Structure 1
Amino acid sequence: MKIFVATILLLISFYIVKVDLFEGTIPLAYSNEPEVEKCLETPDFISVEIVAGDTIYSLFAIYPSNESISFTERLSDFYTLNPHLVNQTFRAGEKVLLPVYTASAQCKK
């Protein structure tokens, strides 16, 4: 009886390994499918004057992006355009550059 149970467990283990090798994460990592191109150009920017009480969130809400882009990517581009604001807060009257995203002409159909 012990040999029978050990054989069943061994066959189940082999089946699990086979499924993982042929249908699991390893074939997905080495897939030959072409990657989807990002249709976003390098971000343009607009100059915005800060008003008392403005935050990053309020600026991004007032000037939303037409293209689908994550908040972290937009924030990263914001700090690339305004490196002096990395460790500072906004001051009223200061001008900052906000990234604006547009799709390239070849991606619009």
Structure 2
Amino acid sequence: MKIFVATILLLISFYIVKVDLIEGTIPLAYSIQPVECDRKLDYITVEIVAGDSLQSLFSLYPSVESISFTERLADFYNLNPHFINQSFKIGEKVLLPTYTTSKECK
């Protein structure tokens, strides 16, 4: 009977230690919380010259922050909705999206 009670107490002790190591205070002390970063949309004004395309403008004026082409394209059309149905004209000014983040994220 003593061996049975000792075994039960030992198993309960092991369970408590396991739960504390996996879900308890030790993992919380060493876990790294991801920082939520908000991108702030800004823009620059660019004048179109002969031979410019949207891809060439994006490569000439890259964004400091890493962003996908489709997201930048969507923001371009939000800033310049008249370019959805027309092409660039020489001498026209367009707004190119650029992005900045807060200082905590860098």
- Tell me what 1:16 maps to: none
- Tell me what 2:29 maps to: none
- Select 2:102's aligned residue among 95, 100, 104: 104
- Select 2:84's aligned residue among 83, 86, 92: 86
RMSD: 1.7
Q: What displacement does 1:36 show? A: 6.5
TM-score by length of 2: 0.64
- Tell me what 1:45 maps to: 43
- Tell me what 1:63 maps to: 61
Question: Which ranges of structure 2 fall in alignment gaps of 5 or more residues?
Answer: 1-32
Larger relative helix fraction: 2
Bigger Cα Rg: 2
- Spell out the pairing of 1:2-81 with structure 2 (5 A cutoff): 37=36, 39-81=37-79
- Any runs of at least 4 consecutive aligned residues in structure 1 with deviations exceeding 6 A, and if so which? none
TM-score by length of 1: 0.62
